[in-house]
Structure 1
Amino acid sequence: MNFFSLFTAGILVAQAGSTDGSSGGWLTQLSDWAVSLMDIIGPAGAALAIALENLFPPLPSEVILPLAGFAAARGSFTLAEALIWTTAGSVVGAVALYWVGKLLGRERTRKIFSKLPLVDMNDVDRVEAWFDKNGPKTVFFGRMVPIFRSLISIPAGITGMPFWQFVLLTTAGSAIWNSIFVLAGFYLGDNWHIVEQYANTFQRIVIVVVILAIVGWVIYKILKRRREKVTSTDER
C-alpha cells in the first residue's frame, strides 16, 4: 500500500468511527493503519497521525501515541524521535486550526465546521465558552482534555490570541500529554493497549486540576482586590 492510499484509508477509518457505535472494530483498523503509516514513513508517520487527530477528533490520541511508543520500542525509530515528532504533529495540527479561526472569523468558521460529519457543534460551543471564560491558559490545559484538545485552537485564532503565546502553550501542553502516552507505550511494549483503559482516569484528573487552578486563580484575584481596596482606604 502506497502513502496516499494509506492516508485515504486513515480518513475512512475516522469517518467509520464517527458513525459506528461499536468502537472495537474501527479502533483495531485505526491501530493497523497507524502502525502501517509509521512503518512506511517512520516517525513522521506518527507526527502525521497526531496532526490528523487534531483535525479529525474521532482519531484518538490515546491509541496513536502509545502505538508510537510501541514502534519506538521495537526499533522502528528512537524514543526521542517519537516524542519530538508527535509533539511537532500536535503543534502543526493545532496551528492549522488556529489560522482557520483567525483568517475566517467566527461565523464562517462555524459554518464550515457545522458541515463536517466528524464535528459536533455542541462541542464547539462548549470549547468556545470555556475559552471565553478562562482565557489563554485553557490552550495549555486543553491539550490534555478530550475534544477540547482539538477544538481549543479555534477560539484562540478567532479572538486573535498572540501567535507566539498560542504556540508556546500548545507545545508545552502537547509535550506533557504526548510524553505520558508515548512513554507508556514504549515501556508496555506489546501491551500498549492497556494505556487506553487508564486514559479516562487521567483525563478526569486533568479536568479536576484545571478546575482547582481556576478556582485558585479566582480566589487570588478576589483577595488581591480586597487588599488593594484596604490599602487605598488606609492611604486616605
Structure 2
Amino acid sequence: MPSPALAAALPLATATDATSGYDGFIGWVLSLMDTLGEVGVGAALLAETFIPPIPSEAVLPAAGFLAWEGRMSPVGAWLAATVAALVGAWIWYAVGAALGPVRTRRLVGRLPLLEHEDFDRAERFFARWGGTAVLVGRCVPLVRSFISIPAGIERMPLPVFSLWTVLGSGVWNALWIGLGYAFGPAIRPVLEEWSAVLSTLVLAVAGLAVGVFLVRRVVARTRATRRNPALD
C-alpha cells in the first residue's frame, strides 16, 4: 500500500480510477473488481473459467494493483481468486463425471473428423499424467478451464483433484497478483496496452490450434481414402 506522500504524488487518474482505458471483457471485469473488491476478483476468476477470452494474466495483475492502492487486501484477493478457480474446476469436473468414459468415447466417435482413438489417446495420457496434467494445466490459458473435464471423466478422486487444482491455481494467482502489487502503478500502462491484445491473442491461438488440427485430420483422411477407396 503506498504511503500518503506517494499517493499524493500519483496522477489523479491513478488514485481515483484504476479501471478506465480498458477494453471489452477486460474493462468490464476490472470495473467489477473495483466495485466489489475481493468478491469481484472471485467473480472475475469464476467468469474466466467459462469465458476464456477473459485472461487471468490481465485480470490478476490489476487486482494486485488495486491492492497496492489499498482498495483490497492482496491476501484476500489471492484467496478469492483461488477459491473461485476451485469452484469453477469443480463444475467442469462434474460435467466430465456426468458424461463418463463410455458416453464420452461414443460422443467423440460421432463427431466430424474425430475418432475413438482420439479419446483413447487422451485417456492414456491422463491415466499416466493425471495429477501433473491438472497441476500444469491450471497455468496454461484455455487448458486451465477444461483440464477438469478429463479429470471428471476418469473420476480422479475429488480430494486429489482439488489439491492439485488449489496448488496450481494458488501459485498462478500469487504470481500475477504479486506482480501487480509489486510494481504498483507501473503495471497500469502495460495492462492498458495489452488488455485487448491478450483477449484477442487467446482466441487467435485457440482458433489456430483448432484449424491446424482440422487441416491435418482432413489431409490424413484424404490420403487414406486415396490409398483405399473403400473407406470413402
Q: Same fold (TM over 0.5)?
A: yes
Instruction: State the aligned residue count.
Output: 164
CA distance in 2, matches of 1:168, 1:110: 30
* 1:59 corresponds to: 54
Q: Give the whole-Å Cα distance in 2 for the aligned partners of 1:164 and 1:104.
A: 20
1:136 counterpart SS class: helix
Q: Percent sequence identity over matched residues?
A: 38
CA distance in structure 1 between the aligned counterparts of 2:80 and 2:34, rounded to whole angstroms? 14
Q: Which residue of 2 aligns with 1:71?
A: 66
In the TM superposition, 1:83-122 aligns within 5 A as 83-105=78-100, 107=103
Q: 2 CA distance for matches of 1:52 and 1:41?
A: 14
- TM score, norm. by length of structure 1: 0.60
Q: Which residue of 2 aligns with 1:182?
A: 177
Q: Which residue of 2 aligns with 1:204?
A: none
Counterparts of 2:137 and 2:84, CA distance in 1: 16
Aligned to 1:33: 28
Aligned-pair CA distance for 1:40: 2.3
Q: Distance in 2 between matches of 1:127 and 1:190?
A: 43
Partners of 1:89 and 1:127 in 2: CA distance: 27
Q: CA RMSD in A?
A: 3.2
User: TM-score of the superposition, structure 2-length normalised?
Assistant: 0.61
Match of 1:153 in 2: 148
Gaps of 5+ in 2: 1-20, 108-113, 199-232
Q: C-alpha separation between the residues in 2 aligned to 1:102 and 1:52?
A: 21
CA distance in 1 between counterparts of 2:73 and 2:45 reads: 17
Match of 1:47 in 2: 42
Q: CA deviation at 1:27?
A: 6.5
Distance 1:77 1:161, change over 3 A: same
* 1:139 aligned residue: 134
Q: How has the CA–CA distance of structure 1 residues 177 and 110 changed in structure 2, closer, same or farther, with 3 Å as cutoff? A: farther
Shift of 1:54: 1.4
Give the SS at the match of 2:78: helix
Partner SS, residue 52 of structure 2: coil
Distance 2:124 2:51 in 1: 21
Deviation at 1:82, TM superposition (A): 1.0
Q: Is the 8 A contact 2:65 2:184 kept in 1?
A: yes
Q: Check whether the contact 1:100–1:109 (CA below 8 A) recurs between aligned residues.
A: no
Structure with greater Cα Rg: 2
User: Residues 66 and 163 from structure 1, CA distance in 2 versus in 1: closer, same or farther, beyond 3 angstroms?
Assistant: same
Alpha-carbon distance in 1 for matches of 2:122, 2:68: 36
TM-aligned CA distance change 1:147 to 1:72, over 3 Å: same
Larger RCO of the pair (alpha carbons < 8 Å, separation 6+): 2
Q: Which residue is equivalent to 2:7? A: none
